Structure 1
């Protein structure tokens, strides 16, 4: 794979994930307790033998830059021409910020050309899945394709948010529509479409030509799905590569149902995290054949303190019991007499005595006070929940406190937000 360069688009603002993206880019949002969203694309690259990467950043990239530095630098050796380079907007070609996915790559065309690749893989850094990109690059070579597009099956309703393609019997793409109002289904299934994953393999020289051509088109949106791919169909060799999931079950067999998630909304993000706590989750983080890597903080193991065989004390008050059931609990977390159910507890979280946390996601350093009750909530890094407070039980009260509530009813508390026991204006 030394003739292949990977470009990861990681500058997305992720406005639908606010307030989680208030201080960080979407690819830097924590996921699964210990990871960031971008760790999945990066782990796929590493597991695929692809060690020449440019990460294009833009929106509030400091958190992402720091994560890549502490979690990923040690996997690459510059002397062996291995690297993961963060490339911020430099405005070398234009005075504007990135206008679209194609423009982001075009504005960094010199950095790409400098590596002299034969093929360029372009990835989005904000999806959750496992995939062997090497197999896609090999397929691209076998077909002598100018462009190869990663493809997955999606329902007609889902396909309205993606690029939708039509293929012939050889998997050559003969039609492509970006986010169509009425997606064209597959000939053999009226309920399913073939959707673009936003993963592309280009012949490098062809990519450079198309980017330069598109840059001069004032009517273009400068987007791969909206402009580059559709204009290539019919005149060049454009093929679809079917998504092949690398998720395995406990026996090592590939799971029957493919797993790919766009966690672009608060509810989609919440549900994808909750998937992980099932007994046999679709996304297997414990599969050592295709490991997902991330930053491993140098903190002690999780700890559970205060326990009793009795549920009540002599006075009738409930006993303290530090416990977590059907949950993921990260390093440094302490359940100090508090109870956790069906939740994801990040590093160095503390659940104090008699507190309960259910169906929730707590980011690093959250402190839950005594007797507090939390249900169906996402609480960002370092937030302190006062003793006795209830979150997720009264939506009107949560709104009065200034918390974000998703369409699905998930309460979200932003990083650095002051949490008061009583709503503003109450006495």
Structure 2
């Protein structure tokens, strides 16, 4: 394989995920009990054997940097391998990153230092598995200067995404951001469109040329989708990789093409719910393509039985290490580590992050509960949305979101 450098864009503010992003950047938000969102893209590159990675950070990056330091630090003096977090350094002036393209432009010194043939530029805030080598093979076979990963989505959902039009050879011929009507469909399949995943493979020289030109354009928004792609695809050397054809060892057929943008609280909750059940939409238990992470050294989860009416058990749920279900019932939920659910409590269809305590006889339904929250004995969450709305955020789909450190009476 040629010399490949990876740059992960992990500086997003994640405004639509507040209050979860009130204290952390979006890629650092806990997900799936044991993980952070950033773990999924990093695991894809590590499992693909691509180990020269810079993680570009910006907003509220402390928890992300801590997670990378504790779980993702490795290096080799013999074979060059690294995962290095890179804070915004204002190398080109006293300004923050003004867009995704500007984030790479401000760190072009890293590209110069590593001298790669190709540069992978991927987002750090989606849930999916992907063998990057297959996309690189497609890129090389087409002799592309840029390859964009895209996923087929139904026409009715086109207005949520940047939509790419391709010809019969999957060469990009147009791009439209969130079209409101008449989106361009996939050749031979009029029911689906191609949504950009925000993942790119560039040849190094054309990338540097376009970034310099974009930086000099005062009218540019300095964004890959809005500015770089429209300037590059008319030359006919920009191709689109169909992510739905990516094969992952050990994955079930129904998982093929799974990709979730967790940019809103509702989609974040939905993606967590995709993990539970007999046949999950996204299976975290694939040993051939593991999702890697760091968690503290903790004892196994414990389920405590006091009597027939006080049996601690969980149904269709994922329970993190160090969690104690003490005479309580957890159903269809994702529970992080070091959580305590006390006697006669009932949790259903909820996401519970780390170090939460749920009091005796409390009832939780359709909620996202951030870290270090204390739910008082007998408290109810998700049963009276008008009451919950006075204290907490309620999503469009009726999910109650309780911020980090809150106390619920």
- Class of the TM-score when normalised by the shorter of the 2 chains: over 0.9
Taking the aligned partners of 2:249 and 2:384, their CA distance within structure 1 comes to: 40
Partners of 1:355 and 1:130 in 2: CA distance: 35
Q: Which residue of 1 aligns with 2:46?
A: 46
- 1:372 corresponds, among 356, 362, 374, to 362
- Matching of residue 417 in structure 1 with residue 406 in structure 2: yes
1:321-400 residue pairs with structure 2 within 5 A?
Answer: 321-400=311-390
Aligned CA distance change for structure 1 residues 257 and 144 (closer, same or farther; 3 Å)? closer
Taking structure 1 as reference, are residues 127 and 375 closer, same or farther at Cα in structure 2, changes over 3 Å only? same
Asked if the contact 1:247/1:283 (under 8 Å) is kept, the reply is no
Cα deviation for residue 162 of structure 1 reads 2.0
| 2:143 corresponds to | 144
Residues of 2 paired with 1:338 and 1:80: CA distance? 50
Task: Kindly state the Cα deviation for residue 357 of structure 1 after the two structures are TM-superposed.
Answer: 0.8
Q: SS at the partner of 2:278?
A: coil
Aligned residues: 407
User: Helix, strand or coil: the match of 1:412?
Assistant: strand
Q: CA deviation at 1:191?
A: 2.8
What is the TM-score normalised by the length of structure 1? 0.92
Aligned to 2:61: 61
Matches within 5 A, 1:180-219: 180-182=179-181, 183-219=183-219
> Which range moves more in the overlay, 154-163 or 278-287?
154-163
Structure 1 gap segments, 5+ residues each = 311-318, 422-427
- Cα deviation, residue 335, structure 1: 0.7
- 2:303 counterpart of 1:304: yes
What is residue 102 of structure 2 aligned with on the other side? 103
The equivalences for 1:19-34 within 5 A come to: 19-34=19-34
Corresponding residue SS for 1:278? coil
Task: Please state how far the C-alpha of 1:247 moved relative to its aligned partner.
Answer: 5.1
- Could you tell me which runs of 5 or more consecutive residues in structure 2 were left unpaired when the two chains were aligned: none
Map of 1:315 onto structure 2: none
**Residue 256 (structure 1) shift:** 6.4
Q: State the partner residue of 2:167.
A: 168
C-alpha distance in structure 2 between counterparts of 1:247 and 1:47, whole Å: 10
Equivalent position of 2:287 in the other structure: 288
Q: Which has the larger radius of gyration?
A: 1
Contact 2:274/2:280 (<8 A) preserved: yes
Shift of 1:141: 1.4
| CA distance in 1: counterparts of 2:108 and 2:333, whole angstroms | 44
Partner of 1:407: 396
1:330 Cα deviation (Å)? 0.8
How far apart, CA to CA, are the structure 1 residues paired with 2:255 and 2:270?
Answer: 20
Larger fraction in strand = 2
Alpha-carbon shift at residue 111 of structure 1 (Å): 1.5
* TM-score (structure 2 length as normaliser): 0.96
Matched residue of 1:234: which SS? helix
Question: Which stretches of structure 1, 4 residues or longer, exceed 6 Å deviation after superposition?
Answer: none
Question: Post-superposition shift, 1:331?
Answer: 0.3
What is the CA deviation profile of residues 359-399 of structure 1, one whole-angstrom value per residue up to 9, with x for unaligned ones?
11110000011111111111100111111111110011112
1:132 equivalent in structure 2: 131
Where 1:239 maps in the other structure, the secondary structure is strand
Q: Identify the residue that residue 316 of structure 1 maps to in structure 2.
A: none
**Residues in 2 aligned to 1:2 and 1:53: alpha-carbon distance in whole angstroms:** 15
- CA-based RMSD of the aligned residues comes to 1.5
